[in-house]
Amino acid sequence: MAFIDTIKERARADKKTIVLPESMDKRTYEAAVKIRDEGIANLIIIGTPEEIAKHGAGFDLSGITIVNPLDDPNQQKYIDKFVELRGAKGVTPESAKAKMLEDYMHYACLMCKCGDADGAVSGACHSTGNTILPALQLLRTKPGISSVSGFFLMEVPDCELGEGGLFVFADCAVNPNLNSESLAEIAGLSAESFEAFVGKKAKVAMLSFSTMGSAKHPDVDKVANAVKIARERFPGIDVDGELQLDAALVGKVAELKAPDSPVAGQANTLVFPSLEAGNIGYKLVQRLAKAGAYGPVLQGLSMPVNDLSRGCYADDIVGVVAMTAVQAQAQK
């Protein structure tokens, strides 16, 4: 069974309510029908009757909750919550209402914050910033976590490395400026994500162009320091580095380069030293190894919100909704 089929099965076992705020995109409706028919999640689509009629024409939306933000009986509750959360930043009831009606992602996050939904998925026709910023402002990060990062769950066919070809790659989507503290935080969150999705113990490799001091450079020091911080902040995870990629994955190389490492040669969770390295790395594996790349999945938020590629297909939305539902299960 493919990884995403396992995730869908888990989502079906404990259905969560996921909001899709992009009622202005046909792919939302195509995906929603599949999600409903496969029993993956309970869905809410935010949209006016005009938006639903224009973009959802031809789709049977029975069994899917449609919330018209113009006459939603919960609208005032969401306005009040918005002001409670952002009043110190100058948000008034009037500006809160205007923002909610102008950008449905704000509406979706408030639904989650007020307990009317378990997660949200957006980004098919909006930027990553349009997805993440409302979530940061209204849902905020988990206690003790300073920032949001993004990972891909990689499924490499015919591969014995990692966990039978399954890996978490991070950060591949969000943070362009990483220091030792942020790398350590990503290591802890990525270990948690790997274990939540795969159900196996994470073995986290902090990647570099150096293995255990084989090269001297400030970029190497950054990763080595991140390992020390990660071990202090997240004592329950197996993390080591700095490690070159071959030392992280291949047992024979690990025996030569890092013989005493508890992670080298068996890593399944790869933390890249920069966003560009992570982004290039996952795309290389996806294209050259024909790997499944599920994500980017966001981690670090107090409730699950996930981003889509603007070039996504409806099936991609289905998969991300399933992963969001599983994240919601873990948080509950």
pLDDT at 117 over 70: yes
For residue 331, the model assigns a pLDDT of: 80
Nearest residue to 265 (alpha-carbon basis) of 282, 279, 246: 246
pLDDT at 125 over 90: no
pLDDT at 240 over 90: yes
Check: CB of residue 147 under 8 Å from CB of residue 185. yes
Query: For the whole prediction, is pTM greater than 0.75?
Result: yes
Strands 292-299 and 149-155: antiparallel
The single residue listed with the structure tokens 């705020």 is 21
Mean per-residue pLDDT, 174-197: 94
For residue 332, the model assigns a pLDDT of: 60
Check: CB of residue 203 under 8 Å from CB of residue 154. no
pLDDT at 128 over 80: no
pLDDT at 118 over 70: yes
CA distances, 178 to each of 137, 175, 183, 215 (Å)? 21, 7, 6, 20
The single residue listed with the structure tokens 């992602």 is 105
Q: How far is 164 from 129, CA to CA, in rounded Å? A: 34
Check: CB of residue 119 under 8 Å from CB of residue 327. yes
Mean per-residue pLDDT, 156-171: 95
Q: What is the pLDDT of residues 21-59, one digit of tens each?
A: 999 999 999 999 999 999 999 999 999 999 999 999 999
Element (H, E) at 86: helix 75-86
* DSSP per-residue string spanning 247-289: HHH-HHHHHHH-TT-SSTT---EEE-SSHHHHHHHHHHHHHHS
Confidence of residue 1 (pLDDT cuts 50, 70, 90): low
Q: What is the pLDDT of residues 75-115, one digit of tens each?
A: 999 999 999 999 999 999 999 999 999 999 999 999 999 99
Among 112-121, 139-148, 222-231, the least confident range: 139-148
Strands 166-170 and 149-155: antiparallel
Strands 269-271 and 203-207: parallel
Q: How far is 14 from 233, CA to CA, in rounded Å? A: 31
DSSP lists the bridge partners of residue 248 as none
Confidence of residue 327 (pLDDT cuts 50, 70, 90): very high
Mean per-residue pLDDT, 169-180: 91
The dihedral sign for the CA sequence 186, 192, 197, 202? positive
| Amino acid sitting at position 101 | L
Check: CB of residue 318 under 8 Å from CB of residue 38. yes
Q: How far is 238 from 207, CA to CA, in rounded Å? A: 14
For residue 310, the model assigns a pLDDT of: 78
Among 166-175, 207-216, 311-320, the least confident range: 311-320
pLDDT at 129 over 80: no
For residue 126, the model assigns a pLDDT of: 82
Say what percent of the chain tops pLDDT 70. 99
Among 58-62, 107-111, 295-299, the least confident range: 295-299
Instruction: Compute how many other C-beta atoms are within 10 angstroms of the C-beta atom of residue 289.
Output: 15
Phi, then psi, of 196 in degrees rounded to 5: -70, -40
CA distances, 103 to each of 97, 108, 109, 116, 266 (Å)? 10, 9, 11, 18, 44
Structural tokens at position 311: 């070039």
* DSSP per-residue string spanning 225-236: HHHHHHHHH-TT
Check: CB of residue 305 under 8 Å from CB of residue 230. no
Q: 171 preceded by cis ω (within 30°)?
A: yes
